Structure 1
Amino acid sequence: MDSLSIARALREVSQYLQLKGDDFYKTRAYDLGADRMAGFSGDLDTLVRESRLTELPNIGPALAEKITELQRTGSLRLLEQLRAQFPPSILELLRLPDLGAKKAAALHKALGIGSIEELEQACRDQRVRGLKGFGERSEQKILAGIEQYRSAHARRRLGDVLPVARALLSEVRAAPGVVRAEVAGSVRRWCELVSDVDIVASAPEAAPVLAVLARQSGVREVLGQGDSKCSVRMDDGLQVDLRVLPDEDYATALHHFTGSKAHHVRLRGRARDLGLTISEWGAFRGEEKVPVPTEEALYALLGMSYVPPELREDVGEFEAALAGTLPADLLAPSAVQGVVHSHTTWSDGKSSLEAMARAAAAMGLRYLTVTDHSAAAAYAGGLDEIRVRSQWEEIARVQEAVPAVRLFKGLEVDILEDGALDLSDRLLAELDVVIASVHVRHGQDQAAMTARVLKALDHPCTDVLGHPTGRLLQKRDPSPLDMAVVVERAAKRGVLLEVNGNPDRMDLSAEHVRLALRAGARLVVSADAHSTLALQNVAFAIHTARKGGARTSDVLNTRGPDEFLAEIRRRRTGGG
């Protein structure tokens, strides 16, 4: 069993244990182990064979034993025992908004509810409101949550799908005879929500490559397999389609299956104007097939600049590519020099400050802002002024131990209900970076919420507006902000707008990135990392910014540490 499948199994164990009401630290251990396996890219076979799993962070002897059993046998006795104690669909309840394991367990115990359908019927029959801890309003919220869940889960969050897509791509690339292979579809375009996974490969013979996908662990069923295509459904219901073509057709096939459909319609129209036809099977001038070795060559054939996958949404990129006005310096991952939003065990992070610093250095980053929560976020272990100053002492110590990465003293400060910032102005002025964010009372109306955020933007110590809309993908709608007014005020005050790469947030969206850039606002791309592994979330922010058309010059953390800090200070003193 591969590491991703092991991660899913450990997560499932944690969820069942939570339903049973087991000790928090026990369930937490399985979650931490799942996190570790989900991000593991080393040689798992060797670690298991040499009994060295405990060398990995958060993997103790008991967890190592479970991982070994999964890796060697493909199953786990404990998990099978837990599954036998509950209805087969009960874990679906945990995916509903605001319905945690404690409530799900209570519903199961009192009413025998073991699926979303049974819960929906119980609410409609008004059987839930009589239970302790529930009421008529609870039933209404549950029904609304079920509707939201069903609407949203026709598609999945990119952050949930991308690791699966990359793992399968790695297997396809290693298949016999494969020349080239890439993920296509909405995953390649870095859409925040996706419905399936498309992979395109080239090889002299398709059958051996298609067979590799069909026999992958985690494949529940093969939906169909032909001469050039194999479709499978994974254990969690995700559909994966693999197409294998001769290498001469690879570029046009990759382009076709990357989409979007609207972008393709424009390109096909352009091709017709030039006496050409294009499809996944190539480009033709009459009966003559025109060689197209790369996607760049396809656009050149059409007299257009190359359009990166993220931009292919028919939101103006076609006209810009035709006119040669696409940004030449679209933000590149290699341009980002620092991560601007990170949490440690001082608040609700999972990794120590030193571990975060060393992980940032290992990624080749030049700086890291340490931005734990402020005191108002008591639920997240937020720091009061005494603890903030104590943390500065540790930052200084870690800076000496990890000189390769510059550490900035920061804080993610709550924007209170009236728009004031948590903690004193004197303390905030001493920080290198202040991220101001809304974490509670998202239900204010548009006028109140907009006024609240505008007041925070006017504070002289607000350097960055964190996850501006407050949305959680498929869990919480964006706050009812007047975003046009917000981005204009941010531009006026010189406050940076965060493109948050936490896969649960993806906030700003690409649409709002475009809005911000039109207003003249500048950005930072951030990881909102709560662990060393989550520092990699910055990739989601980078590609979202690219999708919104952000150039390198639009993003402040493409600057080196000295210039980055100087820009922050210049803005605070009125020079920005």
Structure 2
Amino acid sequence: MMELLGENPFKVNAYYTAARTVELLKEDLGELAGEDQLRHIKGIGSSLAKQIGEILHTGTSQFYQELRAKIPYGLFALTRISGLGPKKISLLHKQLGISDVDRLEEACRKNKLLELPGFGAKTQENILKGIAGLRKYTGQHLFVNVWGLAENLEKELKKHPHVRDALLAGSLRRRKEVVKDIDILVSSDNPEEVAEYFAGLPQVETVVGSGPTKTSVVLHQGIQADLRIVEQGEFPYALHHFTGSQEHNIAMRHRAKKMGLKMNEYGLFDAQGKKIMCQSEKEIFRTLGLDNIPPELRENMGEIEAAEQGKLPCLVELKDIKGVFHIHTVYSDGTASIREMVEETRRRGWNYLGISDHSQSAFYANGLKVEQINKQLAEIDRLNEENPDFTIFKGIEADIRKDGSLDYPDEILAQFDFVIASIHSGFKMTEEEATERLIKAMQNPYTTMLGHPTGRILLGREGYPVSMKAMIEAARDCHVIIELNASPYRLDLDWRWCRYAKELGVKIALNPDAHHLAEFDHMEAGIGAARKGWLEAFDVFNTRPREQVKDYLRLRKGPK
């Protein structure tokens, strides 16, 4: 907000520094609430210490509220347009009075931006493209930004004395990477009271509609939440129906019809209209001659046929993971040391860790020069000696150049236990160019894994136009593991292609792409995507025990 208002950049940077400091604190901030204690933390001055104390005690700060009152709400939406930073937005607001996306688009159409310093025809064209992209994603939200809010609503509803059962449904329950809203189903003997309670929760900003069977609200974060209330006997049928997907439900109703039954959100009925009593979704599936289909698979992509034939996969779980790769440390753009990353990994019950800082081409991320590589490898050797029951694998995330080559010579790559090859620049390619670039990188004998293979950023950037079929087939031929990057902003490889990789025997590495200790939590989102992709523990490389991983990397390394 300070940047949008054109505040002194030194003051702005002080807030960024303080935010990073607070994020990385090992102590409980609540125990450091005194201003004197806070001022002794590097990066926090007296003014910031006072504000932090105020936020801790009141939940907000007067300075924050004053800033918020000065900024038109629409300016925040402009920050989501690619290539439009706070400084440019501030200039647009001051010079042209632009305060929302519609006015910005109108100004671009009338070439008004060309009158401003730093805005050329190309910039204006890119802003129009950014607006189109923003509108494309309007009303959509990342799973990671919604899940916590939905869980809190579910917990609040379970507290109510007239709620028997309460569960999340819809695309959240199916673990879709992008969702439109929150669906919650409850059973109750007093629906009016429960609906009123839900509408009055502190998380709710606006009530869109309220009734005894459905109440819709908009949360303060701008996300719609729909509560559906049914009788206890209807709960299993309604849970299946409102979990979806629509395509899965249509296929299930069609199956029921062929069996002489009728199926809807209220129940399962025989030819005479008598309700078939089922106490759970599992019983509903059994009545229809099917194994229980996990929510993640309910997309009508072969799950009903597999359930009929007893061929549903035993889906991977977080407890199957034995270690993780794709970790960035303070050597490049991470915030934790190797030792801290090891300690966090061990705390989570894993017994190996693959360090893979950025390579030299990634200058924007402090990519490693040769002397830094030598220093890091020596440190890993020392830490491995200290931890004989744990293994730190030496790796690098090597940039794939435009011609498909990696940005270190073979003699450098040979020093690592594994190499993740990734594209971080030069995204403007044809499908043929992108596919050829990735395949050539996988043909490098030192490439162990292909990192975030399409380069997509969910709700932010489309992936480059690669032939996924050709890329996965090349991974099979080159014995390269494909990463499912578990960052909830990527989830790349897309789950829709995981099944094809599985069929070809291509192993998937479920990697957190962690730059902070807290980002090991990315594995939760990654597991959801892997399950949607029909992956079992055997299909995921890092479900293997440490000694097996050691053997594989040793045998896989280098020319064969």
Q: TM-score, normalised by structure 2?
A: 0.91
Question: Does residue 308 in structure 1 map to residue 294 in structure 2?
Answer: yes
Offset at residue 399 of structure 1 (A):
4.6
In the TM superposition, 1:35-184 aligns within 5 A as 66=51, 69-70=54-55, 72-184=57-169
Instruction: Report the Cα distance in structure 1 between the residues aligned to 2:124 and 2:247, rounded to whole angstroms.
Output: 41
**Are the aligned partners of 1:200 and 1:243 in contact in 2 as well (CA < 8 Å)?**
yes
**Are the aligned partners of 1:29 and 1:58 in contact in 2 as well (CA < 8 Å)?**
no
**Are the aligned partners of 1:201 and 1:242 in contact in 2 as well (CA < 8 Å)?**
yes
Residues 151 and 53 of structure 1, relative CA distance in 2, 3 Å threshold = farther
Deviations 1:255-314 (A, max 9, x none): 111100010011111122223222222322344332222211111111001111111111
Question: Does residue 230 in structure 1 map to residue 215 in structure 2?
Answer: yes
Supply the AA of the counterpart residue of 1:386: E
- The equivalent of 1:7 in structure 2 is none
**Are the aligned partners of 2:328 and 2:514 in contact in 1 as well (CA < 8 Å)?**
yes
Instruction: Report the Cα distance in structure 1 between the residues aligned to 2:21 and 2:206, rounded to whole angstroms.
Output: 28
Instruction: Report the Cα distance in structure 2 between the residues aligned to 1:417 and 1:341, rounded to whole angstroms.
Output: 22
Deviations 1:343-399 (A, max 9, x none): 122211233333322222222222221111111000011111211221223334555
- The equivalent of 1:566 in structure 2 is 551
- The equivalent of 1:505 in structure 2 is 490
- The count of residues paired between Structure 1 and Structure 2 equals 557
Deviations 1:373-432 (A, max 9, x none): 111000011111211221223334555666775322111111111111112312212212
- The equivalent of 2:512 in structure 1 is 527
- The equivalent of 2:312 in structure 1 is 326
Residues 275 and 64 of structure 1, relative CA distance in 2, 3 Å threshold = farther
SS at match of 2:119: coil
Offset at residue 231 of structure 1 (A):
1.6
- List runs of 5+ in structure 2 lacking aligned partners: none
SS at match of 2:79: helix
Residues 277 and 48 of structure 1, relative CA distance in 2, 3 Å threshold = farther
Question: Does residue 439 in structure 1 map to residue 420 in structure 2?
Answer: no
Range with bigger deviation, 463-472 or 152-161: 152-161
Residues 21 and 59 of structure 1, relative CA distance in 2, 3 Å threshold = closer
Residues 148 and 223 of structure 1, relative CA distance in 2, 3 Å threshold = same
Offset at residue 179 of structure 1 (A):
4.0
Instruction: Report the Cα distance in structure 2 between the residues aligned to 1:66 and 1:403, rounded to whole angstroms.
Output: 46
Residues 392 and 206 of structure 1, relative CA distance in 2, 3 Å threshold = farther
SS at match of 2:198: helix
Offset at residue 176 of structure 1 (A):
3.0
- The equivalent of 1:26 in structure 2 is 14
What is the alpha-carbon root mean square deviation over aligned residues?
A: 3.0
**Are the aligned partners of 2:417 and 2:557 in contact in 1 as well (CA < 8 Å)?**
no
**Are the aligned partners of 1:15 and 1:91 in contact in 2 as well (CA < 8 Å)?**
no
**Are the aligned partners of 1:457 and 1:465 in contact in 2 as well (CA < 8 Å)?**
yes
Range with bigger deviation, 495-504 or 76-85: 76-85
Instruction: Report the Cα distance in structure 1 between the residues aligned to 2:234 and 2:28, rounded to whole angstroms.
Output: 34
- The equivalent of 2:269 in structure 1 is 284
Instruction: Report the Cα distance in structure 1 between the residues aligned to 2:430 and 2:390, rounded to whole angstroms.
Output: 42
**Are the aligned partners of 1:175 and 1:208 in contact in 2 as well (CA < 8 Å)?**
no
Supply the AA of the counterpart residue of 1:28: Y
- The equivalent of 2:172 in structure 1 is 187
Supply the AA of the counterpart residue of 2:215: C
SS at match of 2:275: strand
Question: Does residue 423 in structure 1 map to residue 405 in structure 2?
Answer: no
In the TM superposition, 1:348-387 aligns within 5 A as 348-387=333-372
SS at match of 1:233: strand
Bigger radius of gyration among the two: 2
Offset at residue 318 of structure 1 (A):
1.6
Instruction: Report the Cα distance in structure 2 between the residues aligned to 1:167 and 1:35, rounded to whole angstroms.
Output: 22
Supply the AA of the counterpart residue of 1:136: A
Supply the AA of the counterpart residue of 2:379: E
- List runs of 5+ in structure 1 lacking aligned partners: 1-12
Range with bigger deviation, 379-388 or 282-291: 282-291
Q: TM-score, normalised by structure 1?
A: 0.89
Identity of aligned residues (%): 35
Offset at residue 469 of structure 1 (A):
0.6
In the TM superposition, 1:237-316 aligns within 5 A as 237-285=222-270, 286-316=272-302
Instruction: Report the Cα distance in structure 1 between the residues aligned to 2:51 and 2:273, rounded to whole angstroms.
Output: 60
- The equivalent of 1:517 in structure 2 is 502
Supply the AA of the counterpart residue of 2:523: V
Residues 247 and 569 of structure 1, relative CA distance in 2, 3 Å threshold = farther
Deviations 1:420-468 (A, max 9, x none): 1112312212212211000000102222222211111011110000000
- The equivalent of 1:4 in structure 2 is none
Deviations 1:63-92 (A, max 9, x none): 675455446545431221112332232111
Offset at residue 514 of structure 1 (A):
2.4
Offset at residue 130 of structure 1 (A):
2.5
- The equivalent of 2:303 in structure 1 is 317
In the TM superposition, 1:364-513 aligns within 5 A as 364-399=349-384, 405-513=390-498
Residues 463 and 130 of structure 1, relative CA distance in 2, 3 Å threshold = same
Range with bigger deviation, 116-125 or 154-163: 154-163
In the TM superposition, 1:528-543 aligns within 5 A as 528-543=513-528
Instruction: Report the Cα distance in structure 2 between the residues aligned to 1:198 and 1:90, rounded to whole angstroms.
Output: 29
Supply the AA of the counterpart residue of 1:471: R
SS at match of 1:289: coil
Deviations 1:149-182 (A, max 9, x none): 1111232222222222223223333333544332
Offset at residue 489 of structure 1 (A):
0.9
Offset at residue 524 of structure 1 (A):
0.8
Deviations 1:481-540 (A, max 9, x none): 122111111001110000111111111111221232233321111111111111111122
Residues 131 and 337 of structure 1, relative CA distance in 2, 3 Å threshold = same
SS at match of 1:176: coil
Instruction: Report the Cα distance in structure 1 between the residues aligned to 2:264 and 2:32, rounded to whole angstroms.
Output: 47
Residues 437 and 268 of structure 1, relative CA distance in 2, 3 Å threshold = same
